């Protein structure tokens, strides 16, 4: 099956710092989503981005589908950004099944 690897697995930042999270996937996809999972387990949609670049406030994302990777940029990080960030993909021809990556655990400190 498709492999989805995220890096780094863990990240500790000082408030105000910037960071880049990476998602590599092993096969052609027609859906890629980034999620933030808060401490209560809720998965919050950040971006739907099978290709191209999008921005939403302090967050932006880029997916280069031909090279099979996606990047999530967090600028001016805040303590509320803490949690686990997942990318998830749907394989081309894979119906509606999301395959999640390994996750990046982010902690933002004062």
Partner 1 sequence: DAGVTQSPTHLIKTRGQHVTLRCSPISGHKSVSWYQQVLGQGPQFIFQYYEKEERGRGNFPDRFSARQFPNYSSELNVNALLLGDSALYLCASSIYGQLRHEQDNEQFFGPGTRLTVL
Where do contacts with partner 1 occur on this chain (CB under 8 A)?
A: 30-31, 33, 35, 40-43, 45, 48, 50, 86, 88, 90, 95-103
Q: Which is nearer to partner 1, 76 or 80 (CB)?
A: 80
Give least dist CB 81 to partner 1, A.
19
> Edge to edge, what strands does the sheet with 52-56 contain?
4-7, 19-25, 69-74, 59-64, 52-56
SS3 assignment, position 90: strand
Instruction: Output the smallest distance, CB 66 to partner 1, in A.
Output: 17
């Amino acid at each position: 099956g498709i492999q989805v690897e995220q890096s780094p697995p863990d990240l500790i930042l000082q408030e105000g710092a910037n960071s880049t999270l990476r998602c590599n996937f092993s096969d052609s996809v027609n859906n890629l989503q980034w999620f933030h999972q808060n401490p209560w387990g809720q998965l919050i949609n950040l971006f739907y981005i099978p290709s191209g670049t999008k921005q939403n406030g302090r967050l932006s994302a880029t997916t280069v589908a031909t090279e099979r990777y996606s990047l999530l940029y967090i600028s001016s990080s805040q303590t509320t950004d803490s949690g686990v960030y997942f990318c998830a993909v749907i394989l081309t021809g894979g119906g509606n099944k999301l395959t999640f990556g390994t996750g990046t655990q982010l902690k933002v400190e004062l």
